[in-house]
Every structure is written in C-alpha cells, then in structure tokens.
Amino acid sequence: MLSRIAEALFWIGRYIERAECTSRILDVHLQVLIEDPTIDREATCRSLLAAMGVRYDGEFDQAAVLRLLLHDRSSTASVVSAIEAARESARRSREVVSTEMWEAINTTFNQLSSGQLTRMRPADAFRLVRERSSMIASMADGTLSHDTGWQFLVLGRSIERVDMTARLVLSTTYSPGSASSWQTTLRACGAHHAFTRTYRAIESPRAAAEFLLLDRLFPRSIVFGLTQAAACLEVLDPRQRRLGFGGDAARIIGQARASLDVRSLSDLMSELPREMEALQLVCVEATDAVSKRYFEGAVAPEWLGGTQ
C-alpha cells in the first residue's frame, strides 16, 4: 500500500464519520432547543460550538451553529467541509477507491456543494447527510477488499468515532442542570434505542455514561471504537512480539482502553470532563503516531551500506 493512498483512505474514514456524527449532533441539538423552553439558548449554542472545537466570536444562536457546523465551506468543522475533504482524498486515491464508493462520495459532494443544505429544512438536511454518509460507509465495506487499505479506512473511522463520542459526552457535562441532557447525548450518538433495550427506560446519567463509555457491543461506544482501532492496528502490523507493543499508535490506544477497563465507573464519572479531554488527546496522538509510522514515506530509515 502506497503511503499516500493509506493516508487518503484513513482520512476518508475520518471525514465521512465526522460528517455523519456532526449532523446527528446538530439534529438533536436543534430538537432540544425547540422542545425545551427552559433552556438557555445562548449557553447551549456556546457549549456545542466549544465541544466541536470551533473558535467563534460572534452571536451564539441557531443560525451561527448551522452555518459553522453544517453548510459553511470555509468553516473546517462543517459537514460540507468534511465531505469536501473526503472527496479530495478519494480523488487522490481513485484507482484504489471502488467506483461505487467514489460515485457515492462524489454525488454527495455535488449535492452539498451546490448550497442545497442552506435551502433545505434543517431536519431534512441532517437526514440527507446521515443517509449519504451511511451509504458511503456501506459502499466502502461492501465493495472494497478488506485489505490493508480498508483497515486504514476503518482505523480512521474508529478513531473519529471515539473522538466524536468523547466530545458529545463532554458537551453533556457542560450543562449538567438540564434533566434531558443525557437523553440528548444518547440520541446524538444514535444510541437511544440500544440503550433502552439494554437498560430499559431507566433514566440515569450514570447508566447513560456507562453505556456510552463502556458498552462492548454498541458500535459507537468509546470502548468499542478503541477496540476496533486496536484490531486494525494489529492487522496492519501483525508482528508478534514478546515484549512491548507493535507501535506507538497501538500503545496509545491500548493504554486508553486499559485505563477505561480498570477504573470504576464512579471514578470515571467524578472526573468526566477531564477524562473526555484526555480521550480526545488520545485520538490526536494516535493519529500522529499512525502518520509517522505509515504515511510519511515508508518505514524507518534504512541503512544504505555505508553510503549515508
């Protein structure tokens, strides 16, 4: 696998997942604003933008949120930007990306870049983005060989998922007063149905946090994402070692997962904001490690028979 192609696939995985998660988050966020009259609108918008890592100095309202996170091509956090970046990566790896997957990405980009999202009702726009993203992900899984390239794609997807779920949980902790905030988070993760099936209709922040952080079967939980990322890294670097780990990324991911495993839930809950920030840092560091190991033009320097 060409380093450049591996990198492109990794980022397609991340960007498509980011587009989907962002539209979920926006969807739920707007519903909350509409349904809950008691809520402090400005504070909610502010906390959402903060959680998504957007620096913004203007008025915090719904229009700003939609612009910055949905349809503004100049905002790097927007859905349109994510799709555009995914398409650019796909374009650079077109001989590897399958025709079906490329067309799914390209038509999505064509639809969104024509400014359609600004004209649609927000709820329809979110649905469109979710459906198109799911379709692209499914095309990737269904039409690419599950070889090294696909592993990089899934690795990117998993890391992005961990990052996004951590951001959501963090945004929940910003407004602890709101009774519905964990409900909101569950729905934003697409986890409400699965959570209810697992815990029944027991509304407890503790149960929700446990589910989003530690559930081993739910595909958007943090543990699930970390496990999947670790599995990809294992396939990418299968060397069996008696000591240590295969690479920095594997070590970073493994450490994060172990830390979630061994600590009690109360422990985690007591320091939730810091934990979630730490997890975002894990995603950054793991991505750096993967880039260094795989994307920067091949392997560690080789000895060239004394010529160097």
Partner 1 sequence: MTGHFEGYTPRPATYDEMFDGSDVRRSYTTVRTQIEALSPEDLRARSDYLSSSYLDQGVTFDIGGEERPFPLDIVPRLIDSTSWQAVELGVAQRVKALEAFLADIYGEGQVFRDGVIPRRVVTSSPHFLRPAMGIRPPGGVRVHVAGIDLVRDEQGAFRVLEDNVRIPSGVSYVMTNRRAMSAALPEVFTHHRIRPVAHYPNRLLAALRACAPTGVADPTVVVLTPGVYNPAYFEHALLARLMGVRLVEGGDLVAQAGHVYVRTTHGLHPVHVIYRRVDDDFLDPVHFRRDSVLGVPGLLNAARVGNVTIANAVGNGVADDKLVYTYVPDLIRYYLAQEPVLRNIDTWRMEDPTHREEVLDRLHELVLKPVDGAGGKGIVIGPRATKEQIEELRTRLLADPRGWIAQPVVQLSTVPTFIGGTMAPRHVDLRPFAVHDGERVSVLPGGLTRVALPEGELIVNSSQGGGSKDTWVLSADNPMPEVEPEPAEDGPFHPAIKPAVPPQQEPAPPTSHAQQEQQQLSRSPQPQGDPSC
Q: Work out the burial of residue 280: count CB atoms within 10 Å of its CB; fewer than 13 is exposed, 13-18 middle, 19 or more buried.
A: middle
d(CA 63, CA 250): 41
Give me the least distance between CB of 133 and partner 1, in Å please: 17
Nearer to partner 1, 109 or 195 (CB): 109
Give me the least distance between CB of 87 and partner 1, in Å please: 9
Nearer to partner 1, 116 or 148 (CB): 148
Nearer to partner 1, 74 or 307 (CB): 307
Contacts of 111 (CB under 8 A, 6+ apart): 128, 132
Nearer to partner 1, 59 or 302 (CB): 302
Question: Which residue type, as a one-letter code, is found at position 33?
Answer: L
- CA 38, 42, 44, 45 torsion-angle sign: positive
Nearer to partner 1, 106 or 116 (CB): 106
Distances (CA, A) of 274 to 220, 260, 279: 20, 13, 9
Nearer to partner 1, 57 or 302 (CB): 302
Enter the tokens of residue 66: 């939609």
User: Do 169 and 185 touch, CB atoms closer than 8 A?
Assistant: yes
Give me the least distance between CB of 289 and partner 1, in Å please: 14
Give me the least distance between CB of 96 and partner 1, in Å please: 8
Question: Which residue type, as a one-letter code, is found at position 102?
Answer: W
Residues that bind partner 1 (CB under 8 A): 1-6, 88, 91-92, 94-96, 99, 102-103, 106-107, 110, 148, 236, 294, 297-299, 302, 304
Give me the least distance between CB of 91 and partner 1, in Å please: 6
Name the CA dihedral angle for 197, 199, 204, 206, rounded to a multiple of 10 degrees: -120
Give me the least distance between CB of 226 and partner 1, in Å please: 22
Contacts of 22 (CB under 8 A, 6+ apart): 52, 69, 70, 77, 78, 79, 82, 129, 164
DSSP 155: H
Nearer to partner 1, 21 or 155 (CB): 155
Q: Work out the burial of residue 50: count CB atoms within 10 Å of its CB; fewer than 13 is exposed, 13-18 middle, 19 or more buried.
A: middle
Give me the least distance between CB of 23 and partner 1, in Å please: 22
